[in-house]
Structure formats: structure tokens, C-alpha cells
Amino acid sequence: MKYGVISDIHGNLVALEAVLEELKSFEVDRFICPGDVVGYGPNPAECITRVRNLDAVVVLGNHDAAVCAEMDIGWFNPFAREAIIWTRDQLSENDIKWLKMLPLTYDFDQYIVVHSSLAEPQAFHYIQSTSDAKICFEHMDSLRACIIGHSHVAEVYVREEGKSAIQRIAMQDGGELRLECDYRYILNCGSVGQPRDGNPYAACALFDTDTMVFQIRRVPYDIREVQLRMRKVGLPDILIERLEYGV
């Protein structure tokens, strides 16, 4: 099976469309979204509709949870909070109902999808270091790979079975990794709608479970158009500006 992995879309429909266009040529069998369909961006309802129409595997992100009132928003910085409150007003009852029904994890074959860490998935702990990854690996049991988002940085953590050393691999555009037997992996596909690794291009991944290759793709999109839409609806400047820097 060939999976297209699209995480942290964050209401950025222009980036989502660009990524889906890019993935078209790879004949993806199914899409996986490790959470945060909404929050930050100007088109949350449209992004929900688009993802629902893909019949994607979707798990709950922290912004999704906050928007549908499944999580305390006091935890967020003031700009994210403002965007969450704005996003709530843009969604229909049906959209909110759909967000509320999203599971925290989804497992298939030897893989599991979660927004952040498998350690207390409902707490959305970040995986940004090998020590964060270690805790997640401890919850993987016999699963081969854990597919995540949340940090908005495309990277992979690898641990050989029975060993404690963990390697962190930064994944650039086009960068690919073949999963080996006897190793466990945490695969982060980066963010479609708000990358934070200094590269403003939308990030997505291809994961082929036949060849066992995980590949990162970076896709340019019309950032100005998204900024215009955000300005028009009064979303915070800092969220508008960061898109062009990818931070």
C-alpha cells in the first residue's frame, strides 16, 4: 500500500491543495492525517471537508481537540488561542461533531498513527529529542513504526530492537529512508500548513508499506494568498508572517 501522509494542515487549504496535487502522480492508495486539520489557518471548514472527502485515516490533534472543546485552551499561547476561538466560529455543528469523533490513535498492520507521543496521547507531549522519542518507543511494543506530526518538523527517530541508542535523522525535501527489519521507527512527516524547520514549503510524506520506503516531499504553494485570506479575517499578524519564513 502506498500512503500519502498529510499532517498539521491547520486550516491552510491552499497548501493542502498543492500537496494533494503533488501526491497525485504517486498514485496514493490511502491518506493518513496525524492530526491538526484546523487551527491557525483561514479555511478550517474547507480543510475538514477536503480531508473527509479523501476518506483519510485521521487522528485527533491538540488544535482539533481545543476547537471542539475536548481540551483546555489555557495551555496554548495567546495567538494560537485567538486562532482556536476564531476557528470555532467558522465550523458547523457537523464539523465539530466530526472532530469530536476522531480517535487519539489508529493502528493498522504493524503501524500506529498518533498526533504526538504514544505516552499519554491525550496530553500531546512533543517529540523533539531522542529522550522524548525514547518514551514513545517504550509504548510501541511490537509495532514497527509510529507515524506522527505535532512538531511541524519532518524527521525520523530510529532504534534498533533490543538496543537503547536512538538516532535522529533530519529529513530534507526528497529525503528517503528504507525501514529495516529489527529496527523501530518514529516517522514525522512535517506540517502541510505551517512548517517550522526554516523551509516555508508545505511538507508531506509518502510511505510505501511494500517497499518500506518513507519519503518526504516539500511543495511550494501560494503563501501570499493564504496571508491575504488570514489578514482579511483578522487572524494574528505573527501567525500570518511566520508562514513565509517557515518558522
- Using CB under 5 A, list all residues that contact Zn ion: 8, 36
Of 188 and 209, CB closest to Zn ion:
188
* 232 CB neighbour count, 10 Å cutoff: 9
Rounded to the nearest whole angstrom, what is the least distance from the CB of residue 39 to Zn ion in the complex?
Answer: 7
Of 203 and 223, CB closest to Zn ion:
203
Rounded to the nearest whole angstrom, what is the least distance from the CB of residue 234 to Zn ion in the complex?
Answer: 21
Rounded distance between C-alpha atoms, residue 212 and residue 12, angstroms = 29
Rounded to the nearest whole angstrom, what is the least distance from the CB of residue 121 to Zn ion in the complex?
Answer: 14
Of 8 and 155, CB closest to Zn ion:
8
Q: Which residues pair with 55 in a beta bridge?
A: none
Rounded to the nearest whole angstrom, what is the least distance from the CB of residue 194 to Zn ion in the complex?
Answer: 7
Of 36 and 155, CB closest to Zn ion:
36
Of 36 and 95, CB closest to Zn ion:
36
Rounded to the nearest whole angstrom, what is the least distance from the CB of residue 79 to Zn ion in the complex?
Answer: 13
